[in-house]
Amino acid sequence: MTSSSPRPVAESDPGDPGHPLGQARVRRWTSLLLASACGLIVANLYYAQPLAGPIGTALGLPAGADGLVVTMTQVGYGLGLLLIVPLGDLVENRRLVVWVVAAGALALLGAALSTRPLPFLVAALFIGLGSVAVQILVPYAAHLAPEESRGRAVGNVMSGLMLGIMLARPLAAITAELTSWHAVFYLSATVMLLLAVLLHLVLPARTPTSDLGYARLLASMAHLARTTPVLRRRAIYHALLFGAFSLFWTTVPLLLAGPAFRLSQVGIALFALAGVAGAVAAPLAGRVADRGGSRKATGFAMVAVAVAFLLTDARPSGSPLRLALLVAAAILLDFGVSANMTLGQQAIFRLGAEHRGRLNGLYLATFFTGGAIGSALGGLLFTRGGWTLTSCGGLVLPLIALAYFATEPAR
């Protein structure tokens, strides 16, 4: 393989298995590149979350409209999951990823240059659309990997994705504290442009064999959702757990900044860094799945998320012990969510190479909806009943997932 002319990888040629060294490169160098790319791309969804207040003030958004800074990015991402990610089953994957990443870079530059609300919100929408490149890369990694190590390959890539999610908020907060929020978007735009060039030069091409047109491709997603019980189960499991994850990370900064702890923005950013430790679950879960242990690991992930919420409401409030338990809960929560996400994607990627892009789009769109509901629920519960009611609401979500999981027939 040369950097100027990467060899295409066909549907029937996973992992470029023509030579053992080719497989080694896929497992090591390419896996590292894909994991790093996923982390850098997905971080674009989360940079604005801790900066919504300063951005809204600088742009002159009306009071109470700061949430649009984050919401428009989420709307763009949701649209991209349904309209762009399925193209991975139709369009050559490397070219598709490069164009989507480049479009995201231009949107980030637009956000950095914005001084008024409308241009920024339009740019935020396209930042979300550009960020779906990460969900083209995840099934791409599954295509490259041999069947016997596919779970590990997906887990390695997902660890990069989870690190990007967890590191984005504290890094954005610290960068904005040292410079300005504009610098966060300038830096990310530069990184995305460099990443697009690197992916174009290094990744092997992978051309799908589907002969569907775009309209038929989108229409087929409804059929897949109706006729694929594994997809429905795994999507609902993770919608509930990701809802709990979003509920926690939406409201815990409010708790930490409140009268019980009075942490600064930097202190909250350092707290968020603790959750990074949970990203180690992704490659571990992938290896467990490769050995046939998905069922037990899924139950463990759900229990871990439930226990995390039990830890968060310990007494006495505001004590160093309570803060330490919150840190432990954040790590355990992120561990469980990261593991379950990897297990879910490994399960749906085993259903067939020809529709991995569509399956992944449906899976992501479902649990992303769960995350949006969890964020909204968290804000409502915290306003109505403080952290006690919030933690109870968070606990209910993994318990519902466990109850549904108990109805899954043994295979």
Give me the pLDDT at residue 15, please: 42
Sheet strands (E) in 150-250: none
Angstrom distance (rounded) from CA 22 to CA 106: 34
* Full set of structural domains in the chain with CATH: 20-405 (1.20.1250.20)
Residue 386 above 70 pLDDT? Answer: yes
Better-scored residue on pLDDT, 86 or 37: 37
Say if residue 240's pLDDT is above 60.
yes
Check pLDDT > 90 for residue 407.
yes
Q: Which has more confidence, 286 or 251?
A: 251
What is the pTM (predicted TM-score) of this model?
Answer: 0.77
Average of per-residue pLDDT values in the chain: 84
Give the residue ranges of DSSP H helices in 319-355: 320-349
Using one digit for the tens of pLDDT, what is the confidence trace for 91-140?
A: 899 999 999 999 999 999 999 999 999 999 999 999 999 999 998 998 88
Q: Which residue, chain included where needed, has tokens 């989420």?
A: 74
Which tens digits make up the pLDDT trace of 188-213? Answer: 999 999 999 999 999 888 887 767 77
Most confident of 33-47, 65-79, 165-179, 248-262: 33-47
The predicted structure's pLDDT at residue 194:
97
Q: Nearest Cα to 171, choosing from 188, 195, 158?
A: 188
Helix/strand/coil (H, E, C) string of 240-278?
HHHHHHHHHHHHHHHHHHCCCCCCCHHHHHHHHHHHHHH
Given pLDDT bands bounded at 50, 70 and 90, which one contains residue 411?
low
Average the pLDDT over 369-390 and give the result: 86
352 — alpha (psi -120 to 50), left (phi > 0) or beta? left
Q: Say how far apart CA 109 and CA 266 lie, in whole Å.
A: 26
